[in-house]
Chains A and B, each alone.
Chain A
C-alpha cells in the first residue's frame, strides 16, 4: 500500500508528461524556423558573394557602376555589373512613397483614434484591412492599366517610371503605416490627454503637442516598416516602373529596382554562371537592406522606450 503510493508519487504525472511534450514541440518549431532563416541567409550570401570571389568583380564597381549588362565585358575585361541604377531606383521609390504615404497615414490614424474613435474607426478599419488583403499583382495590374496612362497624359513620357511606381507603392504601404500608427497612438496613456485637456488645451493642441510627440517613436517604426515593405515589393513595381537599368534621370523616365531586375532576369540565366551570380548579389543587397531596416526599427523602439 505504502509502496504503491510511493510509486504513484515518484512516477511522472500525465500533466508533467504533456508539459514536456508541449515544450519539445514548440522548441522544435523554433529550431526549424531558426534553421530556415540561417539557411536562407547562408545560401544567398554564398551565391551573392561568389560574384566577387569566383568571378572577381570589384565590389566598388558593383556598387557604383552605372552599366548593367552582365553578359557583356567592358574595355577593362570586367563584366558590366554596375548595380547603382537599381540600388538608387529602389531607394528613390521607397523614400518617395514613404514621404507620400506618411501624411495620409498619420492623418487617418489621428482621425480613427482621436477625432472619431467610434464611427471613424468602425468605417476605416475594414477599409484598411481590405487594402492589406489585395494581392500585389492586382495593384500592379491596376497600375499598368490606370496609373501608367494617367501619368503619361499628365506628366508626359511613356508613363512607365519612378512616379508610377511611387503611386502604386503609396497605396500598398498606406495600410501598413496606418494600422501601425493607430497602434502607436493607442499606446499613448489616457492620462496624457486628460492632463493636457485639464490645462486648457484644445483637442488639436492636445493631439499636436502631446499625443503626437509621445507617439513619435511608434510612428517612426511604422514608417520604417512601410519602407521595408516598399523596398522588397517586386511584382507590382516591376509592372509599372519599366525595368530599364538606367540611372533615374527624371520621375517619368523608365527605371528599375533591385527586385524588378531580379524577377525579370532570374529565369534567363544559368545557375553558377556570372549572370546568375550577379543577380544573387542583388538579392544579397536586398537582404542586407532589410536587415538594416530591422535594426533601425529596433533602435527606434529602444530609444522610444528610454524617453518614456
Chain B
C-alpha cells in the first residue's frame, strides 16, 4: 500500500512537470519564436542547414523543417497550417493551389540532368532522342548510339517537382510513358547505378561517379550553362508564404536570400545561387535576361 502511494506521488509530480513544460513552450510559441517550413525534399537540405545556422545566430528561435513533397508544402501553407511551404514548382503549376493567395520567394536554382547507367555507353543525346526514349519510340540503346541494351525508364512519382520540370523543359512538354516510379532522387540514383540500361533524371547535386550524366545537344549539364539558360532543364527553389507572414518567417527567408547564405551554403550543397543567374524565367516558362546590376 505504502509503495503504491509513492508511485502515485511520482506520477503526479511527473504530470505537473509535463504540464509546466507544455505551458512554457506555449509561451515561446506565442512569442513567435518558432516557425515551420514544410515541403520539397529537394530543397530540404538547404533549408535545414540554413535554419540551424539562423538559430545559432538568433538564440531562442527555432526553424522546424519537414519534408513531404512540393504538393504538401504548397497545400499546407495555403491552408495556413505552416509558415513556409517549400516547392520546386511555381504555385501556378500545382493543381488545387490558388497562386494569388501565396507570396513567392525564390531562394536558389537547381539544374536537372538525365542520368544513365554507365554500361549503356551513352554520354550524349539530342533532345529529339531524349524525347524518343521517354515516349517509348526507342527501346534499345543501340538505336541512339549506345550498346545493344534494352532501355529501362525510371520516373519520379507523378506530381514530383523534378519530374514536372524535366517533362516541361527536357521533353518539351511531352509526357513520359508509364514506367517505374520512385519517390526520391537518392533511390533513383541507386537504381540507375545498379540496373543495366536504366535512364532517369536527378538534380545536379545527386550526380556522382556511380552514374553517367548525359549532355544534351552538345551542352554539358553544368552550373555555368544553367546560369545563361543554355541548359534549359532547371527550376527555381521556392519558399512560399501567405501574404502576411510571421515576422520570423520573413526574416528567415531574407536570411536565406542574403549573400551570407547564397555564397556559402547554397553553393556547397550543390544548388545554384540566385545571384549567379543571368536569366529569369516566369511561371509560363518565358525567359528574360537579367539587367546587369552592380551591387
- List chain A positions with a Cβ less than 8 A from chain B: 67-72, 144-145, 148-149, 152, 158-160, 238-239, 242-246, 254, 256, 263-276
Q: Are A267 and B96 in contact (CB under 8 A)?
A: no
Are A71 and B194 CB-contacts (below 8 A) given A246-B178, A270-B94, A273-B96? no
What 1/0 mask marks residues of chain B from 147 to 184 whose CB sits below 8 Å from any chain A CB? Answer: 00000100001111100000000000001001111110
B residues 111-163 near A (Cβ < 8 Å) are 152, 157-161
B185 within 8 A of A: no
Interface CB pairs A-B, < 8 A, 9:
A69-B175, A72-B175, A160-B191, A256-B181, A270-B71, A270-B75, A270-B94, A270-B96, A275-B71
Instruction: Report Cα–Cα, A276/B74, bound state, in Å.
Output: 13
Q: Which of A149, A268, A273, A276 is within 8 Å of B194, CB to CB?
A: A149
Chain A residues positioned under 8 Å from B175 (CB to CB)? 69, 72
Give B96's nearest chain A residue, CB to CB. Answer: A273
CA distance A149 to B182 in the complex (A): 17
CA distance A275 to B94 in the complex (A): 11
Question: B72 touching A243 by the CB < 8 A rule?
Answer: no
Tell which of B12-20, B62-70, B217-225, B272-280 binds the partner: B62-70
Q: Please tell me if B198 contacts chain A, counting CB pairs below 8 Å.
A: yes
* Among candidates A72, A246, A272, residue contacting B96 with C-beta atoms closer than 8 Å: A272
Pairwise interchain contact B180-A254, C-beta atoms closer than 8 A: yes
The listed residue with most A CB atoms (<10 A of its CB), out of B70, B96, B97, B197, is B96
B interface with A by C-beta (< 8 Å)? 41, 67-72, 74-75, 78-79, 94-97, 152, 157-161, 175, 178-183, 187, 190-191, 194-198
Q: Shortest Cβ distance from A95 into chain B, in angstroms?
A: 22
- A268, closest chain B residue (CB): B159
> Does A270 contact B74, Cβ atoms closer than 8 Å?
yes
In whole angstroms, what is the CA distance A286 to B182 when docked? 21
Q: How far is the CB of A29 from chain B (nearest CB, A)?
A: 17
Chain B residues with CB under 8 A of A274: 95-96
Ranked nearest first, the 4 interchain pairs of A and B with the lowest CB-CB distance are A267-B69, A273-B96, A268-B159, A270-B96
> How many contacts A-B (CB < 8 Å)?
100
Q: Are A70 and B158 neighbours in the complex by a CB distance under 8 Å?
A: yes
The answer for the CA separation of A271 and B38 in the assembled complex, in Å, is 14
| Across-interface contacts of B183 in A (CB, < 8 A) | 238, 263-265, 267
Query: Does B159 contact A265, Cβ atoms closer than 8 Å?
Result: yes
Interface contact A144-B160, CB-CB below 8 Å: no
Measured between alpha carbons, how far is A269 from B180 in the docked complex, in Å? 19
Interface contact A270-B180, CB-CB below 8 Å? no
From B78, B158, B195, contact of A268 by CB (8 A):
B158
Q: Given A243-B180, A243-B182 in contact, is the A271-B95 Cβ separation under 8 Å?
A: no
- Minimum distance in angstroms from B255 CB to a CB of chain A: 26
Residue of A nearest to B68 (CB): A267
